[in-house]
Amino acid sequence: MAKNTTYVEFKNVTKIYNKTKIPAVSDINLTIPQGAFCCLIGTSGSGKTTLMRMINRMNPITKGSVYLNGQNVKQLNPVNLRRHIGYVIQNNGLMPHMTIKDNITIVPKLLKWPAAKIEHKVQELIELAEFPEEFLNRYPAELSGGQQQRVGVIRALAADQDLILMDEPFGALDPITRETLQEFVKKLQSKLGKTIIFVTHDMDEALKLATQIVIMHEGKIIQVGTPDDILHHPANKFVEDLLGEDRLEEARHDTVKVGEIMLTNPVKINIGATLTEALTLMKKRHVDTLLVTDDAQHLKGYISVGKLDKRYRHVNSVSDILDTNIATLHPDSYLRDYASKILQGNMTYVPVVDHHQKLVGIVTRSALVNLVYDTIWGHDTNEQEGDESHE
Ligand code: ADP
Ligand code: MG
């Protein structure tokens, strides 16, 4: 399956419901790639459900065209079209008087699959859902809400549908169950290569699941982008408000680069220096390691007071006790990719080198403290009062 192949495309799509004059969605242009996890998010009534239901023609299209895998859906048989697109809604839509097995196999039976093929599929699906075999003979009411919704999801895959539409599928579940199901659909999407279009009003859910986020408001698309795009380049105030100050703040920290917080005067010594000179410098600057550079400031490694002490009687040059095994950072690297490694490691600092391996600075653990503090506690420094009263 080629990446970036268009799978669903809206071209100038407008929907006007009977008796209304205001379009529910107006002049929508949108391309959803094959294998995407596309989250539609926006205010209530912004047209998310309407947009989604035009793909499987549950809602007739007023103007414009929707293409599915290159075919105009208007030219496809609507019943057949619907059977080939999975659909999951909030309250699972399971038939209460039918067993789980009968619920799952509705569409394959409608498609007249041979019995053996259906049986094989059922086995595959319950394994996928990690359900015990005996669930198949239960009725929906005999499962928990989360389990029912999991059945809703596998039912949407039962006829090998490549596209699954999900309309706020986990909105009614408690946070822990919701998280389990989020991981489940994410796994399905990446492992089985399904294209998923997922309506939600939960920004965390969208940021976590989506490869493509579509932000809607009053029948229009406000912004389309990856979670990263949306977080770091919100198109306008509306998107910013939807994200909220906390997420924006966190995103700003995400973009801090090594070069912005490094100290530019690391304590260093030339590779040709003597151990006496090294020890004198350590004493003077109150440090127990020194970075070692050559005449052109290229970083060669480091020396530590421990090794210096042990070898002092046997050798006399910095180069004799040089440790060359040293991790470095680059000034243009994002700190977020390294911060936890630095904080968890036992280095008190990490040297920063440019493209020519020249030493340009160091990032200290203490420089990271502010960043961690702001991320955890926010920017409000007026809250110190009472902090010390904790016992
Ligand atoms: P969302 O899913 O984003 O909450 P909808 O797509 O359900 O929004 O609704 C978009 C707009 O279309 C709303 O103004 C809604 O009232 C209207 N609408 C939705 N369904 C119908 C319908 N069957 N008949 C008339 N208007 C509708
Ligand atoms: Mg809706």
pLDDT digits (tens, 9 = 90+) for 124-179: 999 999 999 999 999 999 999 999 999 999 999 999 999 999 999 998 899 999 99
Closest residue CA from atom 12 of ligand 1 = 24
How much of the chain exceeds pLDDT 90, in percent?
76
**Ligand 1 centre distance from Cα of residue 351 (Å):** 57
Beta strand segments in the chain, E = 6-15, 25-33, 37-42, 63-68, 71-72, 85-88, 163-167, 195-200, 212-217, 220-225, 268-270, 289-293, 299-304, 349-353, 359-364
| Total length of the chain | 391
**Ligand 2 centre distance from Cα of residue 220 (Å):** 14
Read off the pLDDT of each residue in 24-32 and give the average, rounded to a whole number. 97
Ligand 1: does its nearest atom lie under 6 Å from the Cβ of 48?
A: yes
Is 375 a residue whose pLDDT tops 70? no
Ligand 1: does its nearest atom lie under 6 Å from the Cβ of 60?
A: no
Ligand 1: does its nearest atom lie under 6 Å from the Cβ of 77?
A: no
pLDDT band for position 388 (50/70/90)? very low
- Ligand whose nearest atom lies closest to the CA of 14: 1
pLDDT band for position 374 (50/70/90)? low
Closest residue CA from atom 25 of ligand 1 = 17
Apex 167 CA angle, 31 and 208, nearest 5: 70
**pLDDT of amino acid 160:** 93
Ligand 1: does its nearest atom lie under 6 Å from the Cβ of 20?
A: yes
Apex 244 CA angle, 238 and 246, nearest 5: 155
Cβ-count burial of 386 within 10 angstroms (0-12 exposed, 13-18 middle, 19+ buried)?
A: exposed
Ligand 1: does its nearest atom lie under 6 Å from the Cβ of 47?
A: yes
Apex 335 CA angle, 331 and 341, nearest 5: 115
Is 389 a residue whose pLDDT tops 70? no
| Residue 388: DSSP 8-state | G
Residue ranges of domains in the chain, CATH in brackets: 6-253 (3.40.50.300), 259-370 (3.10.580.10)
Higher pLDDT, 181 or 334: 181
pLDDT digits (tens, 9 = 90+) for 93-106: 899 999 999 999 99
**pLDDT of amino acid 338:** 82
Q: What sign has the CA pseudo-torsion 262, 264, 265, 268?
A: positive
Binning the chain into helix, strand and coil, the percentages to the nearest 5 are 40, 25, 35
- Compute the distance between CA of residue 246 and CA of residue 207 in angstroms, rounded to an integer: 14
pLDDT band for position 1 (50/70/90)? very low
Q: What mean pLDDT value characterizes the chain?
A: 90
**pLDDT of amino acid 386:** 44
pLDDT digits (tens, 9 = 90+) for 43-61: 999 999 999 999 999 999 9
| Residue 8: DSSP 8-state | E
Please answer whether residues 62 and 15 qualify as being in contact, where contact means their C-beta atoms are separated by less than 8 angstroms: yes
Ligand 1: does its nearest atom lie under 6 Å from the Cβ of 44?
A: yes
Mutate which of 17, 39, 44 for ligand 1? The one with the most ligand atoms within 8 Å of its CB, which is 17
**pLDDT of amino acid 21:** 83
Please answer whether residues 5 and 70 qualify as being in contact, where contact means their C-beta atoms are separated by less than 8 angstroms: no
Read off the pLDDT of each residue in 332-354 and give the average, rounded to a whole number. 84
Closest to 105 (Cα-Cα) out of 90, 97, 92, 115: 115
Ion ligand 2: residue ranges with CB closer than 5 A: 49
Closest to 378 (Cα-Cα) out of 196, 250, 242: 250
